Structure formats: structure tokens, C-alpha cells
Amino acid sequence: MFDPIQNLEALDLSNNKLKSLDFLAKVNLTKLSWLDLSQNELTMINVSVFSFLPALKYVNMADNPFTCDCTNSDFQQWMLNNNQTQLVFAHSYTCGFPLAKKGTRFLDFDYHSCWVDASFICYISSTCVIVLTLLTSFTYHFLRLHLLYAYYLFLAFLYDAKERKRGSPQRYDAFISYNVHDELWVCREMLPVLEGEQGWRLCLHHRDFLPGKPIIENITDAIYGSRKIICVISHHYLESEWCSREMQMASYRLFDEQKDVLILVFLEDIPAHQLSPYYHMRRLVKRHTYLSWTQAGQHPGLFWQNLRRALDTPHADLDLNE
């Protein structure tokens, strides 16, 4: 229909119930400058059709039920940024869809939200959550001991630097690390001998920890404020979180200072597999200060004598590479 009139300059297609302008992409109206598309049923505009009308200067699209969503964002940007073609009555264009926006101005629709790809954001967010979950699970399962070691080593470094700056002497001969279930043995058996008979200055958490101070700081002060650390080991001790931290902090001091400051006292016969978390430490110190209450038998005096020798022994250098 348009082939014989390629010199057409004005075209009135108003009130024709047009639903699309795609047919304009097939015409060769290079001189068309005025186009009336008012009072049709245009909802979505494909702006690429205007590239086939290079001479177009005026367009009237009033009274069309435009869709005000991201599918028409290109048309809105073309309306605002096009410097060649003037849209007549553009500020009067209203939305026909969706129903929630019906009657509002087409130019009031915020097309900037269309630049955000919600599905892509959901994909990235879910991927990050999955990766973070996997990393957290991997770290907890395989690296938690290393991270805990680094944390306590950092605390030990801070404490050691603070104490060197203050020049504070060690207040106790030994810090007793024990579980609350073994407190009766510590109070009835150990304290009367070590403090009463032998005269050592001992630090016990239920008696000497400063009230109101964080537990980890009390533990650090006690371990670094004592010449030796005596760990009273039992099944309850191995199952205790705080006892485990005391043991770790003591072992960190041993590795940090490379001095024989740790004394292990076993109240019970414990299979080697239950000591696996402390296997390296047990192998390191059993040659020097490993004591067993169960093996004392009928000769407890020899047990206390050996413990006294261990407390009285100056710090010996350790070969931690063995």
C-alpha cells in the first residue's frame, strides 16, 4: 500500500484500533515528517520502528492505553532523549496498564528501577549465601582449631607485651586447671599438701579469679601470672569447654616461651584415643612432668614428692621439633 507513495510527508492513522507499530518497519517512507497515531490501542511501543522514518519530526500518540512497566522503558527514554522527533501532547499520555497505575501520567513512571535485574540479584545473593555457608562449614570442621589457636596466640602476645611493659612479677607458683567435678579432690587432696605442707602459692579459679572480669582474661592472667600450670586431667576435664581452653592457653604459652611450664596430673586412666586432641602435648611433656594419681596406689607420698620436684624445677628449654 505504501510503495507507490514513498514521497508521503503526512500520515493520519488515528482512531484505527492499532495495537502495534511493527508494520512501519517494512515501509519505505523516508520523507514522512508528520504522523498521527492518537486514539488507538497501542500499549507497547517498539522504538526501533522510528529508525525507518528518518525524516519524522512530529508524532501524536495521545489517548493510547500505554503499559507503564519495564517493557516500555525504552519508549519512555526515547521520548525524553530524542532531539529530532517531537511527541505532541507527550505530557498528557496516561497509563492504561497495569490497573494499579491506570490514569497516571506515563512520564511519571520511574524507569530507573528497570535497570536492576531482580533475578540476577537473587542469583548473586543465593550464590553468596551458599558459598558463605560452605566456607563456614568447612572452616568449622577443618580449621576451627587453627583459628582458635591463632586467637589465643594473639591474646597471649598482647598479654606478654603488656606484662613486659609493666614489668610485673609472677604472683603464683602454679595455676591449677581442673574441672568442677574434680574440685573435691583438688580441695581435699592437693591444696592441703601443696599449700599447707609444701607452701606453694596456688591460683584456683573459684578462689582467685577477679569477679566481673571476662573469664578468658582471668584465665590468661592466671596462666601468665604463674610459674607453672598444673592440669588435673579426668574424663570430665576433657569434656569441659573451659578446661579445654585453659589447656590450650597453657600449651600456647609453652610453645611461645619454649619453656617446660606444663605439668599434667591424670586422676584417671584415660585411653590414648580420648587424648587425641592433646596428643602432641602429651607426648612432649610425659618425659618430664607426667604424673598419674591412679598409679600412686599405696604410696601417695611419692606422688606429692614428684609433684613438688616438678614445681621446684626451673624452666627448662624444650626442643619443640622433636
DSSP assignments along 202-214, one per residue: EEEHHHHSPTTS-
Q: What is the pTM of this model?
A: 0.50
Are 107 and 76 a contacting pair, CB within 8 Å? yes
Q: Say what the pLDDT of residue 322 is.
A: 42
Q: Say what the pLDDT of residue 142 is.
A: 76
DSSP assignments along 118-159, one per residue: HHHHHHHHHHHHHHHHHHHHHIIIIIHHHHHHHHHHHHHHHH
Q: How confident is the model at residue 38 (pLDDT cuts 50, 70, 90)?
A: very high
Are 13 and 34 a contacting pair, CB within 8 Å? no
CATH superfamily of 3-115: Ribonuclease Inhibitor (3.80.10.10)
Rounded CA-CA distance 69/296 in Å is 86
**Highest-scoring range by mean pLDDT, 97-106, 241-250, 283-292, 296-305:** 97-106
Q: How confident is the model at residue 218 (pLDDT cuts 50, 70, 90)?
A: confident
Are 262 and 229 a contacting pair, CB within 8 Å? yes
Q: How confident is the model at residue 110 (pLDDT cuts 50, 70, 90)?
A: confident
CATH number belonging to domain 170-312 = 3.40.50.10140
Q: Is the pLDDT at 298 greater than 80, yes or no? A: no
The C-alpha cell at 191 is 591444696
Rounded CA-CA distance 129/135 in Å is 10
Q: 3-state class of 34 per DSSP?
A: strand
Q: Say what the pLDDT of residue 284 is.
A: 53
Question: How far, in Å, are 7, 8, 121, 148 from residue 26 at the CA level?
Answer: 15, 15, 38, 72
Residue 47's nearest CA partner among 28, 33, 61 is: 61
Rounded CA-CA distance 216/64 in Å is 73
Residues 278-292 pLDDT 10s: 655 566 555 555 788
Q: How confident is the model at residue 35 (pLDDT cuts 50, 70, 90)?
A: very high
Helix (H) / strand (E) element for 304: namely helix 300-312
